[in-house]
């Protein structure tokens, strides 16, 4: 009787492990963030977290917008957006997120704002007081200046 119980418990555990390993959204915490990835150039967490990244732009309705991104070494961040509407009204939004490098080359950042709210910054470039990349798709190139 005990042998059958352990057999079925083992099968159940194996099924749980198989489902967990095949999940598309596996997070490995700081796997990519050891800043010791070989002789080539890699974006490093310290560079990303060294300043506030600011972008000024006009939205689709021609409202003046300012976005500030802060990344912290504990893998948290703040996304601040200020919108000045054409009628003079101003709104400010602040969103907290968790971030991680999404690939070994450290050229993609995953920003999780909540359970079903994830953004990606791909083809990340950090240099010359500039952070740039494609935000949530190839048709949305963004560039931030360090402050």
Read off the pLDDT of residues 58-102 as tens digits, 9 standing for 90 and up. Answer: 999 999 999 999 999 999 999 999 999 999 999 999 999 999 998
pLDDT computed for residue 46 by the predictor: 87
Six-digit token pair at 33? 């963030």
Q: Is residue 21 very low, low, confident or very high in pLDDT (cuts 50, 70, 90)?
A: very low
Q: Answer yes or no: are the C-beta atoms of 130 and 145 closer than 8 Å.
A: yes
What's the rounded Cα separation, in Å, for the pair 21 and 18? 5
Six-digit token pair at 13? 């555990």
Q: Which residues contact 128 (CB under 8 A, 6 or more apart)?
A: none
What's the rounded Cα separation, in Å, for the pair 32 and 90? 39
Q: What angle do CA 29, 105, 56 make, to 5 degrees?
A: 85
Six-digit token pair at 59? 């939205």
108 pLDDT higher than 60: yes
Six-digit token pair at 89? 């009204």
pTM of the model: 0.71
């Amino acid at each position: 009787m005990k042998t059958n119980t352990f057999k079925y418990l083992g099968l159940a555990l194996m099924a749980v492990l198989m489902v967990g390993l095949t999940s598309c959204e596996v997070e490995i915490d700081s796997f990519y963030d050891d800043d010791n990835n070989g002789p080539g150039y890699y974006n490093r967490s310290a560079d990303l977290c060294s300043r506030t990244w600011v972008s000024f732009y006009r939205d689709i309705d021609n409202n003046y917008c300012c976005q500030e991104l802060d990344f912290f070494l504990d893998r948290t961040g703040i996304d601040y957006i200020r919108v000045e509407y054409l009628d003079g009204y101003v709104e400010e939004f602040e969103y907290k997120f968790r971030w991680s490098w999404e690939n070994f080359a450290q050229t993609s950042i995953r920003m999780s704002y909540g359970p079903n709210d994830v953004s990606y910054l791909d083809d990340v470039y950090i240099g010359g007081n500039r952070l740039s990349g494609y935000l949530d798709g190839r048709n949305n190139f963004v560039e931030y200046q360090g402050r």
